[in-house]
């Protein structure tokens, strides 16, 4: 019997929704919201009912019945650090997400809406999340920074990194838990992780402070100069945060985070654009090298994924610097919906046991 899955992936101004019958996609749609509509709500969590009504109306409009669902899967939000895997959505998880105990983000609604759909179905079926951004499998040795007041955190593109790692392992004819990989997710933010037999033991905090600079994020910065800038009196706290996330990286240098526009600038002879493009690829390669060192050089493959992996020039610039480490495999794009689907299917098929979220 085929498993019927509804997958929900909320973003800041949209919700991606897909229905799968086993691995087959029945439909996929992105519901986009007008900014004026969202402005009516004081916070992301207050959008819960609004987004849910739109989702249920869309499913009904396609002639599908919630009563046929085997499970509902939502994008995992900001929770306390977790090991990777597929988690059952429970009340403890919903409470932490709705209270924004660990931070506010649109992805907090993924698990909540998944449980809402289960209740609307009237059936006793599970709601899941899979590999949220707070997946933390770091080695203990990777946690201390040079300042005891600050510990390194694991916040990264866990969902797509682990999905791409599983893809690469399958291409190598082995299980994810049997290989060592360095995976670079290259999108609006960039994260580079060292995957040691199924666990991400080293990775940069891709949210607000480590790693390569990216189209919209500043990445690692010279600490002393950053402190001086913070206390210069020229910028507020929020302005400095914006320079790190959303207004940092390529967009700060060139005024755009659109790689197509940057490539057009390069083709027109803009040397500054060429240097920034090259520097971003250089920094990705440098972090891949660092992760290879974390794995003692025992690397079966380097995997490049995310939106930037569609750009052959960018991939070539990274590949030239890291191909001595291991074969480079390219898995362009983001596979969040498929990764959420696959995480649920592994549990439903008995290949994995679901994990249970507990409050700290």
pLDDT of residue 279: 98
- pLDDT band at residue 12 using 50, 70 and 90 as cut-offs: confident
E-assigned strands of 82-241?
Answer: 86-88, 127-130, 180-186, 190-196, 199-203
- pLDDT band at residue 1 using 50, 70 and 90 as cut-offs: confident
pLDDT of residue 155: 93
pLDDT at residue 207 greater than cutoff 90: no
Residue 311 to residue 301: CA distance in whole angstroms? 20
b/e string for 13-29 if b means 16 or more Cβ within 10 A?
A: eebbbbbbeeeeeeeee
Instruction: Enumerate residues 6+ apart whose C-beta is below 8 A from 111.
Output: 74, 75, 76, 77, 89, 93, 94, 97, 127, 129
Residue with tokens 């098929």, as numbered in its chain: 349
pLDDT at residue 262 greater than cutoff 90: yes
pLDDT of residue 162: 97
- Edge-first strand order for the sheet with 190-196 is 199-203, 190-196, 180-186, 301-306, 328-332
Mean pLDDT of the 1-18 span? 94
pLDDT at residue 38 greater than cutoff 90: no
**Joined tokens for residue 20:** 């799968």
69-126 tens-digit pLDDT: 999 999 999 999 999 999 999 999 999 999 999 999 999 999 999 999 999 999 999 9
**Percent of the chain whose predicted confidence (pLDDT) is above 90:** 95
- The values of phi and psi at residue 164, to 5°, are -70, -35
pLDDT of residue 258: 94
Question: For strand 86-88 and strand 24-32, is the pairing parallel, antiparallel, or unpaired?
Answer: unpaired
- pLDDT band at residue 34 using 50, 70 and 90 as cut-offs: confident
pTM of the full predicted structure?
0.93
Task: Tell which residue, 58, 35, 39, has the closest CA to residue 113.
Answer: 58
- Edge-first strand order for the sheet with 14-21 is 24-32, 14-21, 4-10, 71-75, 127-130, 86-88, 355-356
- The H-or-E segment that residue 57 falls in is helix 48-61
pLDDT of residue 39: 87
For domain 4-134+337-356, the CATH superfamily is ATPase, nucleotide binding domain (3.30.420.40)
Residue with tokens 């080293």, as numbered in its chain: 202
C-beta neighbour count of 74 within 10 angstroms: 29
pLDDT of residue 37: 86
What do you get for the CA distance between the two ends of the chain, in Å? 38
E-assigned strands of 93-248?
Answer: 127-130, 180-186, 190-196, 199-203
Q: Domain map of the chain by residue range?
A: 4-134+337-356, 140-326
Whole-number average pLDDT of the chain? 96
- pLDDT band at residue 208 using 50, 70 and 90 as cut-offs: confident
pLDDT at residue 36 greater than cutoff 90: no
Residue 281 to residue 201: CA distance in whole angstroms? 23
Task: Please provide the DSSP assignment of 290-358 as one string.
Answer: HHHHHTTT--SEEEEEEGGGG-HHHHHHHHHHHTTTS-EEEEEB--HHHHHHHHHHHHHTTSSPPEE--
* 40 in Cβ contact with 320 (< 8 Å): no
Mean pLDDT of the 18-44 span? 93
E-assigned strands of the chain?
Answer: 4-10, 14-21, 24-32, 71-75, 86-88, 127-130, 180-186, 190-196, 199-203, 301-306, 328-332, 355-356
Task: Tell which residue, 196, 226, 197, has the closest CA to residue 210.
Answer: 226
DSSP lists the bridge partners of residue 24 as 21
Mean pLDDT of the 177-186 span? 98
pLDDT at residue 310 greater than cutoff 90: yes
CATH topology of domain 140-326: Nucleotidyltransferase; domain 5 (3.30.420)
Mean pLDDT of the 275-282 span? 98
pLDDT at residue 299 greater than cutoff 90: yes
Question: For strand 301-306 and strand 328-332, is the pairing parallel, antiparallel, or unpaired?
Answer: parallel
């Amino acid at each position: 019997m085929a498993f019927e899955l509804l997958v929900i992936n909320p973003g800041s101004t949209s919700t991606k929704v897909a229905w799968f019958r086993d691995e087959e996609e029945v439909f996929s749609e992105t519901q986009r919201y007008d900014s004026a509509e969202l402005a009516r709500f004081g916070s992301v969590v207050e959008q819960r009912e609004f987004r849910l009504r739109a989702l249920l109306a869309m499913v009904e409009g396609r002639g599908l019945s919630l009563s046929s669902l085997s499970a509902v899967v939502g994008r995992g939000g900001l929770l306390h650090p977790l090991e990777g895997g597929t988690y059952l959505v429970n009340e403890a998880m919903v409470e932490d997400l709705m209270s924004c105990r660990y931070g506010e983000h649109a992805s907090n609604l993924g698990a909540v809406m998944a449980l809402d759909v289960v209740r609307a179905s009237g059936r006793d079926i599970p709601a899941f999340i899979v590999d949220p951004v707070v997946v933390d499998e770091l080695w203990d040795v990777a946690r201390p920074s040079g300042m005891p007041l600050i510990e390194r955190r694991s916040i990264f593109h866990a969902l797509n990194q682990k999905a791409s790692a599983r893809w690469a392992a399958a291409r190598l004819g082995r299980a994810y838990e049997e290989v060592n990989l360095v995976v670079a997710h290259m999108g609006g933010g960039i994260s580079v992780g060292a995957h040691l037999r199924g666990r991400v033991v080293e990775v940069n905090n891709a949210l607000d402070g480590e790693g390569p600079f990216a189209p919209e994020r500043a990445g690692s910065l010279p600490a002393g100069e950053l402190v001086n800038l913070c206390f210069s009196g020229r910028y507020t706290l929020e302005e400095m945060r914006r320079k790190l996330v959303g207004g940092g990286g390529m967009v700060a240098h060139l005024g755009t985070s659109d790689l197509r526009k940057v490539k057009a600038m390069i083709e027109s002879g803009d040397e500054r654009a060429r240097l920034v493009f090259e520097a971003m690829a250089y920094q990705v390669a440098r972090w891949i090298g660092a992760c290879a060192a974390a794995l003692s050089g025992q690397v079966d493959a380097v995997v490049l994924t995310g939106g930037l992996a569609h750009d052959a020039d960018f991939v070539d610039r990274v590949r030239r610097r890291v191909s001595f480490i291991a074969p480079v495999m390219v898995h362009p794009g983001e596979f969040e919906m498929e990764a959420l689907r696959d995480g649920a299917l592994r549990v439903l098929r008995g290949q994995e046991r679901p994990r249970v979220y507990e409050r700290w």
